[in-house]
Amino acid sequence: MEQSDEQTGLGPRRLAWMAVTETLKRRVPLDDVMEELARAENLSPRDEALARAIAIVTFRRLGTLGHVLRERLNKPPKDERLMHLLATGAAQILFLDVPDHAVVDSAVQLAQNDPKLHHAGGFINAVLRRVAREREAILAENDPFLDTPAWVEERWIAQYGEPLAQKIAEAHRAMASVDLTVKSDPAAWAERLGGALLPTGSIRLVERTAIRELPGFEEGEWWVQDAAAALPARLLQPKPGERIADLCAAPGGKTAQLAAAGAEVLAVDRSARRLQRLEDNLARLNLKAEIRAIDAEKLDAAPFDAILLDAPCSATGTIRRHPDVAWTKSEEDIRKLAGLQSRLLDKAAGLLKPGGRLVYCTCSLEAEEGERQAEAFLARHPEFARVPVTPDEIGGFAECITPEGDVRTLPSQQVLAEHDRSGLDGFFVARFVHTQT
């Protein structure tokens, strides 16, 4: 009797292989591809989690995997799907706790089940077994820039200098932390959840666990949000009763912060699908906001007391969490997004009351999407002034404040020294005030 895909482990490995291939081919987020493909595969939650783990580690170490495979191939195969199958197999052998034989056997079987790759079983067997034999030597090599595309490496060296750029690249090889934002009493919740209270007010989980099973999830007492991502809303300093717009709001962590502070929030995003997730999150948290599916550039509304603009960006600051970003974005993307960010800043400026506050942020490491945007905005809008951020507003992390008074967090910055995942997402945050009355 034939074994099912679930029994042989083919299902999650096929999903991971397909997801890596489609993400690179279409240059779209891995999360979106996984969600789309998982519906068709109909896997158990456990198998879907395995598929996601394989795909994520493949992207996190894609440069290393390509280097390892090329060194062990006389001639790389022309079929990219075959290279991706080898990469997902090698990722499991080198970086996941999976028996070598299970990896090799499943990869061979996946190829044999594929009309275009059925002839490649022996080749795959030989390559992956060699990777397994030479695992120790492979892992002894340590060039963090291997897992950073060359064009990104060049940009970071130019912007941050080579030593710091290398630390950023090293940080991207580690799993991201899981941080929580709580409605109130973070110290008590940190103790109850067994987490560490960060100086910024976020809680960092020390142990990996199922989020939905933690105390307070069902009651809506907290939500998942990187410690750096929680800073912009805090720096806006929302007050009860203020009318605040959260532009490009989905998936809603910042909207929740503003609503929890008692503000009357308008959450705007062009994606109705992403706004549904925001609405679901607010319902769990028992928080309210007006939600509008519209391009923020087309928003027509009465002036606001404050605006938070978390602008669409290249997301290179989230590579620890979304390693596919490094391999699906380009310098042309950064150029186009920088133009959109400028237009959104101008739009936000026109929606503020005199004396109103504007916080601009991006989860990007690129100066065009951060520091240069802030300077260009002030040059275009003399009616605005920068409001410098002080160390005490961000937990005392003075190293995260630029000479101009903006915030620049980096994945390599340590916020919890004793924790094995102590970094932050890379964010840029600038705060402005409308000075004219």
- Active site (catalytic) residues: 363
Peptide bond into 251 cis (omega under 30): yes
Distant-in-sequence, close-in-space partners of 408: CB < 8 Å, separation ≥ 6: 370, 371, 400, 401, 402, 427, 428
Annotate 153-206 with DSSP letters as a single string: HHHHHHHH-HHHHHHHHHHTTSPPP-EEEESS-HHHHHHHHTEEE-TTS-EEES
- Are the C-beta atoms of residues 3 and 22 closer than 8 Å to each other? no
Alpha carbon dihedral 280, 409, 391, 267, in 10-degree steps, equals -30
CA distances 384 to 138, 344, 432, Å, are 54, 15, 6
What's the chain's Rg over C-alpha atoms? 23
Q: How many helices (H) and strands (E) are present in the chain, helices listed first?
A: 18, 12
Work out the angle at residue 206's Cα, subtended by the Cα atoms of residues 205 and 210, and round it to the nearest 5 degrees.
Answer: 60
Tally Cβ neighbours within 10 Å of residue 207: 8
- Are the C-beta atoms of residues 301 and 280 closer than 8 Å to each other? no
Instruction: Return the half-sphere exposure (C-beta side, CA atoms, 13 A cut-off) of residue 408.
Output: 17
